[in-house]
Amino acid sequence: MRIIKYLLVLIVLATLLIAGYLWFLGAFDSVVVDERAMGPYTLVYQEHDGSFNDVGPVFDEVYQKLSADGVDTILGMGLYYGNPAVVEESELRSEVGSLIDEVQAMMIDRDAYAVKDIKQAQYIVVSLPFKNSLSYLIGVIKAYPAMEAYRLEHGIAESEYSIELYLPDKTYYMMPVK
């Protein structure tokens, strides 16, 4: 009987710890979807084919190459083509890397890097907090269904890509409005 009591206490404590951690990560925060102008951005990137879960090392490679060339950046961005729920993993494409500012864009050797200028445009946007790498998983689970519901409710055409803008304290999930 005593063992059952200790097990129950342990289960309750573990449940509270997990719930507290998820709360800290923002898993229980409400999702606010809005439309707004975002950009412009200059993205130094590399292309990646395959699962979006495998882009981490690609981000690191771009960042390290820029850093070695004296370009300091802490902001990341990914353009993700295809819906992983519908498109075969092998056919998913992404362009991921680091954002640079206007001064860096003038100094960078555009022959040595893939550079994309993204003009200011109207987007469906969700902003969620970033605490650690689990925030990315929670963000994807929460943001994309909310943006898709907003898109359908407002009669907005489906976009061929989405954008994730990674700031030190939050991530913006964006779908272009056509």
Binned at pLDDT 50, 70 and 90, residue 50 comes out as: very high
Binned at pLDDT 50, 70 and 90, residue 8 comes out as: confident
The domain segmentation of the chain, as residue ranges, is 1-29, 33-176
Specify the pTM. 0.87
Average of per-residue pLDDT values in the chain: 91
In order, the DSSP letters of 77-112 are EEEEES-TTTS-GGG-EEEEEEEE-HHHHHHS-TTT
For residue 30, pLDDT beyond 90:
no
pLDDT of residue 150: 97
- Spell out the CATH class of 33-176: alpha beta
For residue 178, pLDDT beyond 90:
no
pLDDT of residue 138: 87
Q: Which of 177, 163, 173, 138 minimizes the C-alpha distance to 32? A: 173
